Structure 1
Amino acid sequence: MELKKMIIDEREVFFEEGKTVLQVARENDIYIPSLCYHRKTGPAGRCRVCLVEVEGMRGLQTSCSLPAKEDMEVKTHTEEIIEAQKLFINLLLADGHHNCLSCEANGECELQQACYHLGIEVPAFQVDSLKEDYDDSGEMIRRDPNKCIHCGRCIDACNSVVVNEVLDFGYRGRDVKVICDNDLPMGDSQCVQCGECSQLCPVGAIIDKKSIGKGRTWELEKINTTCPYCGVGCQLTAYVDKKKNHIVKITGREVPPNDGMLCVKGRYGYEFVSHPDRLKYPMIKKDGKHVRVSWDEAIDYTAERIKTIIKRDGPDVFSAFGSGRITNESNYAIMKFTRAVIKTNNVDHCART
């Protein structure tokens, strides 16, 4: 596809037709504050923070919904833009309880990032008192309506990305809020607790309950890995407390094949890794009890037992069963070992069912 050219802040950038100004800016490492836009949910224009000036156009434009055009000249940091962005951010701060010190999103909050970028240290307007209590009824997710900025990302994620169609805006005017079904507690609604809304929330309004109080973002090591639950191979990031050797939370990586989405098991079913009953080393049963041994001793013992049984009863007394919870390479090794070493075709896999 032929690349088009435009100018952002007196810098030439190139783009493919069909992109918005915000997308082009992000692809070229030009920061424009934005709260309602996400690549997966598309342009919304609700937060009014991603404002830009365009040569030849009247007024400020929302860059998330503005198509990029050939030879367009865009400015992102004029005095008028910054003042308008500060106004909208201050209105959001006044309409909620945004206490960064105690918020689980501290360090990853996009509202916090925008405030830092614009130099907002103290809200310009009086902050409203708390409106509602937490919604803790969900098994895995906590909702805090007092931190909600009504960006609509969670609604778009629920309705358009995972298509569960549980979340929506309810009521009108000053009373508008995000509701589940017909304003039911999340735990009583049809929500399946997939956590997509939690991952896409730009602030701390929707968070994973299991990670509350377990560590700040900068204290945790991020490890990219593959979900162990099935053969799809969803990519995820594990946030790990290295001091305790414990997984604090899981988020989906926005790469194929899952593009950030995870099922409830993949996102929340990670505690087995640190379970006290998990086998962590090889053991051999001696005198009716399992005794810890070295890997060399365990492998030598297993090899001798296999040889003895094959010699006595033949190879077809053995069978091997692969698992969707291990890698394709490991399953291939199981198959090759069973057929080439044991000399039997008794090998199967759970994916066949």
Structure 2
Amino acid sequence: MIGVNINGKDYDIPEDITVFDACKKLKINIPSLCYDDRLAPNLSCNLCVVEVEGQDNLLNSCSLKAKDSMKILTHSDKVIQKRKEALAEMLKSHSQECTDCHKSNVCKLKSYCKEYKIKSRGTKVKDRYPIDKSNPFYDIDPNKCILCGKCINVCRELQGRGCLEINEKGYISRKNNEDNMCESCGNCLDVCPTGAIKEAKFDEEFAEMAEFDSINEEEKKVKTTCSYCGVGCQLELLVKAGKVVEVKPVNVPPNNGLLCVKGKFGYKFINHPDRLKTPLIKKNGKFVEATWEEAYTLITDKAKEIKNKYGGSAFGGLSSARCTNEENYLFQKLIRAVFGTNNIDHCARL
């Protein structure tokens, strides 16, 4: 452990830790728009600057290693002024259409501007760059990009692809490189602190929620496990008006804040109108709704009839990789012990 002084108070902190991480552990809030503890420091937003005794210049706390006896000020007048200048610079080119932005309620840029009393320009900046809608799952709006670089780094360092870049015109775009094919994982979307990357077709869903007055309803967050494969990625479902409207990864094992395209975007079947909500029994050539008691009675009667006539080998069972291990265990037990056959399998295609 080493001893440091932060804002006039003495603390013991672990060795080999950055000032930013130390303050985070001590619940001393330092703003940042480009920091992610899974990524190498990017030093692009200049909001995490701190004042260190003996240093003429302000230093980025996200890359500054804490040293024994270091004296640090996180909210001095000099630091606050620098943060205000950095935020004001970002707003110069940022498209401030907050009312139509999907990140409006969770935008870190908007939140910091409010905290540091940075006022809007009052005039709308004309969109300078085209919105990239070439991906079926997400759109890129460079006009809302603050060039924090998080999307580029998460794609390169964590996803191992490197599909994004800041191009020669100075804005975020996809690379035209077949060797860096996008997997549509959506991890760039999840780390974006503004509305520069958004889920495709969000505008239509936003308008639909507004039409039915559900856009202002309180958002419910439900933690769950992804059902697509056996990895067990942890998800957070965002629910409004009884519908899942977005999926976010949880930064815990095994996925550590990352998802694949299925986990991130493959949720809309949940709200699909064709989903079965009650058992259906075919009568006179047509499926009609039935109660669970009617359905179970029919299954039991038919199963007994078939087994008595043809034996257990007439049955076959197909389970699903989307079920839990416990559910699959019970199903195979049912097929083997009750129906009397080993004809059981499951499709691993997800």
TM-score by length of 1: 0.88
Q: Equivalences for 1:284-295 in 2 at 5 Å?
A: 284-295=281-292
Contact 2:46/2:60, CA 8 A, preserved across alignment: yes
TM-score by length of 2: 0.88
Establish whether residue 270 from structure 1 lines up as the match of residue 267 from structure 2.
Answer: yes
Q: Distance in 2 between matches of 1:62 and 1:134?
A: 32
Measured after TM superposition, the shift of residue 305 of structure 1 is 2.2
Alignment-derived partner of residue 320 in structure 2: 323
Q: Distance in 2 between matches of 1:234 and 1:321?
A: 24
Q: Equivalences for 1:214-225 in 2 at 5 Å?
A: 214=206, 219-225=218-224
Is the deviation greater in 65-74 or in 209-218?
Answer: 209-218
Percent identity at matched positions? 38
Alignment-derived partner of residue 196 in structure 1: 187
Structure 1: give runs of 5+ residues left out of the alignment: none
Contact 2:150/2:191, CA 8 A, preserved across alignment: yes
Establish whether residue 210 from structure 1 lines up as the match of residue 210 from structure 2.
Answer: no
Alignment RMSD (CA, Å): 2.6
Structure 2: give runs of 5+ residues left out of the alignment: 210-214
Q: Distance in 2 between matches of 1:352 and 1:317?
A: 25
Q: Distance in 2 between matches of 1:217 and 1:55?
A: 47
CA 1:279–1:118 in structure 2 vs 1: closer, same or farther (change >3 Å)? same
Identify the match of residue 119 of structure 2 among 110, 118, 121: 121
Q: Equivalences for 1:37-48 in 2 at 5 Å?
A: 37-48=35-46
Establish whether residue 64 from structure 1 lines up as the match of residue 62 from structure 2.
Answer: yes
Alignment-derived partner of residue 170 in structure 1: 167
Alignment-derived partner of residue 34 in structure 1: 32
Identify the match of residue 84 of structure 1 among 57, 82, 85: 82
Q: Which amino acid aligns with 2:306?
A: I
CA 1:294–1:48 in structure 2 vs 1: closer, same or farther (change >3 Å)? same
Q: Equivalences for 1:1-353 in 2 at 5 Å?
A: 3-123=1-121, 129-171=126-168, 175-182=169-176, 190-212=181-203, 213-214=205-206, 219-242=218-241, 245-351=242-348
Q: Distance in 1 between matches of 2:247 and 2:165?
A: 25
CA 1:327–1:292 in structure 2 vs 1: closer, same or farther (change >3 Å)? same
Contact 2:6/2:73, CA 8 A, preserved across alignment: yes
How many residues in Structure 1 have an aligned counterpart in Structure 2?
A: 341
Alignment-derived partner of residue 212 in structure 2: none
Question: In the TM superposition, what whole-angstrom CA distance separates every residue of 1:10-50 from its partner, at most 9, and x where no partner exists?
Answer: 34545433321112222232211101111222311111111
Q: Distance in 2 between matches of 1:99 and 1:133?
A: 15
Question: In the TM superposition, what whole-angstrom CA distance separates every residue of 1:155-195 from its partner, at most 9, and x where no partner exists?
Answer: 10111111111111222xxx42223214x9x9xx8333221
